[in-house]
Structure formats: structure tokens, C-alpha cells
Amino acid sequence: MVNLTKKLLEAKDWVKVRASIDAQQSFLTWQGSVYAFIPGEPKQHLFQIVGMSVARCIPRSEGGWDFTSRELTFYLDPETGEKLDTWKNPWTDEVLPVVHVANNPVQGLFKRPMPALVDEELTTYKFDLFSSYPNPLADDPKFAEYSPQPLYQASELFKLTVPTADLQNPD
């Protein structure tokens, strides 16, 4: 039986999971699915995704780490796994260009303890990001057809799991 305990772990533990405590570059990959959920209709599996991040956590003299990362995500055909250049919208039958994601640098400060689920074998950090901010494409006529909404909204749901023994290692 798994005995999970929710704990607040030091920022250093999180940095060890997400990057490196000595400012070395780290490489993280992810994969998943993108679905559309329209009320009253069955779910639509639109894409598979694969992404990657190159990141560094740079120690600060006053404590904590400055985090900087560059992220890429590619949209893949849900059946073949091939990278998409175009996509057929299942509601309009339009064939549309696919714009893959190349995020501006993602930056932050890791200083505070982070919650994690811990047992003897594994530690899991779970965090959900719900972004909502003015859409920078909304006022650009070039993107009016594709992204006219004034507010950009998205969700990113993450779980990072590592052996608990690795976190207990002082290195």
C-alpha cells in the first residue's frame, strides 16, 4: 500500500527536480494530448503534443534561484504522431496552418517551499497553471482570423515524479 504524505519541501528540492542546483543546463521533455470539449458533444482528440525545455537555475547570493528556460512544443497528428504543418478543423472542414509553440523565455524565482506528495519510493510535484492575460495577437490584423479574442486563456497541468532517495541525496 502506498502511503503518500503531502509535505512542503525546500526550494532546493524543487530545483533539483526541475533543473540543477549548480546552474548547469537541464533538458526536460513532455508529451500529451490536446482535446476539445464542447457541451453536449463527445470529446475530440485534436492533437498529440511533444515539447522540450532547456533551463538553468542560477543561485542567488541572497537565497533562491533565478529560473530561465526556453520552451518548444510541436503539434502532432493524433493517429500517426507526425509533426503537423496543416490541420483539418473537424467542425468547419477547413485546412489550416499549424503554428507550433516557441515561447519567449520563461522566467521566475524559486525561493519558497513547494508542496509535494512523498512516500518511501517516489516524490511527486503537481502544479497546475491557468493563464489568463490580454491576447497580444488580438489587435494585429494579420492574426484576426485566427486569434481575435481579447483574452488569452490556457491551462497547463504538470506532474514531475522522482525517486525520493534522489531528493535526499545532498548533491
With a cut of 70, which residues of the chain have pLDDT below it?
A: 1
CB 126 within 8 A of CB 85: no
Return the C-alpha torsion angle 99, 100, 101, 104, nearest 10: -70
The reported pLDDT for the residue numbered 56 is: 97
Cell output for 81:
504522431
The reported pLDDT for the residue numbered 1 is: 59
- CA-wise closest residue to 110 among 17, 45, 24, 3: 17
From residue 114, alpha-carbon distances to 8, 15, 28, 123 in Å are 5, 10, 19, 12
Residue 78: CB atoms within 10 A of its CB come to 16
The reported pLDDT for the residue numbered 156 is: 84
